[in-house]
Amino acid sequence: MAEAAQTVTTKQLREEIRGVLSALYAAAKAGNRTRLSEAGALIKIPLSLDFVDYFKFLRRYNYVAIDRTDQSLELTNEGKSIVDQGPDDEFNKDMSQHFARFINDEPEEQLIDLSEDTGEQKIPVEGGSEEAPFPPVAASAPGPGGTARSGWVEAKEPRADARSDSRPDLKTAQDPRKDGVPYPMGGKSEPKYVRYEAIGNGGIGTVYRARHSSLALDLAIKEIKDLFSYFNFLQRSEVVKHFREVVGQMALLNHPLIVRVLDQNADVAHPFFVMEMLPGGNLRQLIAKGEIPVERALICFLQICYALQAAHQASVIHGNLKPENILFDAQGNVRVADFGMTRLLQTDSDRPVPQVVTGTLGYLSPEQMRPGGQPSLLSDIYSLGIMFYEMLTGNLPGRRSPLPSEVNKELSKDIDTLFDKMTRDRPEERYPDVGAVLTDFYNFHKDGRYLKSGRIILLAAAP
C-alpha cells in the first residue's frame, strides 16, 4: 500500500473506499472472516490514506460493523449497497464531511455525455405490447403497495392486464384497497403523487411513470438523482438553486409544442419535477424504426423550430437538443423537453471545480466542446441541424458525409442549404436565429404544402 498522503481528490477517495468495501465483501462471500488486524493486508489497491482512516469512516457511518466475538469485520446492508449499486448522495455527504481536511479537488476538464438521458415513454410488457396503462391506484390509506419518499410514493409495477384504454376508472382509482396502495408520507394521509417504474435514465437523472393521486392523471416525474455524483456535497446548495431557476423557466414556457412542467420540489434529498405524460414515444425511437417519410420529417422539423423559437424569445436556451428530448403526443405532434437542464452541472463557486463540458457528443456544437464553452442560441441551431440530417437520412452526419439530397433522392438541394447553414463550424456563419431558418424553409416551399411562416401544422391523428 502507498504511504499516507496529505490530500486526495473526492473521486479518488470515493473509488478507494468502495474498493475497501469490495475487498471485504468478496472475502465474506468466499466464506472468510476478516479480522480488523488482517483487513489492511487484504486490500490490494493502493490507498492514499492509512487504512485506519478508512475504517474509522466506515465504522462511524455504519458501512461496516465489528463482531465482538472474534473482532471480525462485517459489511452492513448499507455497505453492501455501496458495493452493488455505487455511492449514493448520503454516502457522498458523509464522505465529504468526514474527510474534509484531506480532500483537495483540483480543477480538471470533464466531458459528461448525457446521451442516455431520456424521457422515453413506453413500458415493455410481456406478450409483445409496448405500452400498458397504469393499474388503479389509491393514496388515501396506509398499506403494503408502496414506499413513501420525497413527495411521492412508490407503487407496484403496472399490470399488463390493466384496462385497455389507459384512462383510469375514477371510482376504482379512489378505492384504497386496490393494488398500489401506498404508505402515508411525512404525517400526511395522502401523498400528491404515486410513482411507478423508471422509463428513462441518464446523466442528469431518472424519469419515472407516475400518477396524481387525487386526480388520477398520468404524469412523468424526473428525479435529479444521479447529478450529485458529479459534484461533492459542498456544492449542493448551488445546484439546487439552479434547479429551481431552470424548472421555473420551463414551467413558464407555455407553448403547444413544449412539454408542460406542472410541479417541482427542490426541498428533498433528490429534487424532482413533474411533467405531462406523452404516450407517443420519442424521436430516437422513431428514427430507430427506419426511414421516416419526408413529409413527416419536415413537419417534425418545423414543430421543433417553433418550439425552439418560442423558448429563445423567452431567453431560454435548450443546451442539449437530441432525439431523446423530442417527445410525441398521442397524435404524433412534437413536445420538446428538458430546456436548460445542462445548467444544473454548472457552478458559480469560487472554489476550484472541474471544467465540465455538458451535452450529448453527436449533437454538440464545436464551441461547446471547447473548455469553458457554454450553450447558446447558435449552439441550439447547430444541434437542430444535426437532428434534421438524422431525421432525413437515418444517420448522424460526419465531416465527409454526403449532403441530405445525395442520401435521400426525394429531397431538394434547398434542404442541403438549410442543413449546411445550420451546422457551420463558426457560429457567426450559422443562421442568426430560428426565425431565419423558418424564413428560408418557407422560401424553399412556396406551394403552401407546409402552410406559411407563423402557421403551425398540428396533426389530428397519429401518422
Residue 183 has pLDDT above 80, yes or no: no
Say what the pLDDT of residue 229 is: 56
Q: Are 300 and 307 in contact (CB under 8 A)?
A: no
**140-151 pLDDT per residue, tens:** 323 333 333 345
Say what the pLDDT of residue 377 is: 98
Q: Taking Cα atoms as reference points, which of 72, 96, 75, 73 lies closest to residue 84? A: 75
Cβ-based neighbours of 59, under 8 Å, separated by 6 or more: 65, 66
pLDDT band at 171 (very low <50, low <70, confident <90, very high): very low
Say what the pLDDT of residue 277 is: 96
Rounded to 5 degrees, φ, ψ at 220 are -125, 140
- What percent of the chain shows pLDDT beyond 90? 48
C-alpha cell at 365: 456544437
Say what the pLDDT of residue 152 is: 54
Q: Are 313 and 260 in contact (CB under 8 A)?
A: no
**121-134 pLDDT per residue, tens:** 443 333 333 333 33
Q: Taking Cα atoms as reference points, which of 158, 428, 450, 424 lies closest to residue 301? A: 450
CA distance linking residue 416 with residue 425, whole number of Å = 16
pLDDT band at 403 (very low <50, low <70, confident <90, very high): very high
**364-390 pLDDT per residue, tens:** 999 998 877 889 999 999 999 999 999
**What is the sign, positive or negative, of the torsion defined by CA atoms of 39, 44, 45, 50?**
positive
Say what the pLDDT of residue 14 is: 92
C-alpha cell at 140: 388515501
**59-77 pLDDT per residue, tens:** 989 999 988 777 788 999 9
Of 88 and 405, the structure prediction assigns the larger pLDDT to: 405
**234-274 pLDDT per residue, tens:** 467 778 889 999 999 999 999 999 999 999 998 887 889 99
Residue ranges and CATH numbers for the domains of the chain are 10-104 (1.10.10.10), 113-276 (3.30.200.20), 283-444 (1.10.510.10)
Average pLDDT, the chain: 80
Say what the pLDDT of residue 352 is: 56
What is the rounded average pLDDT of the residues 437-451? 96
Kindly report the pTM of this predicted structure.
Answer: 0.66
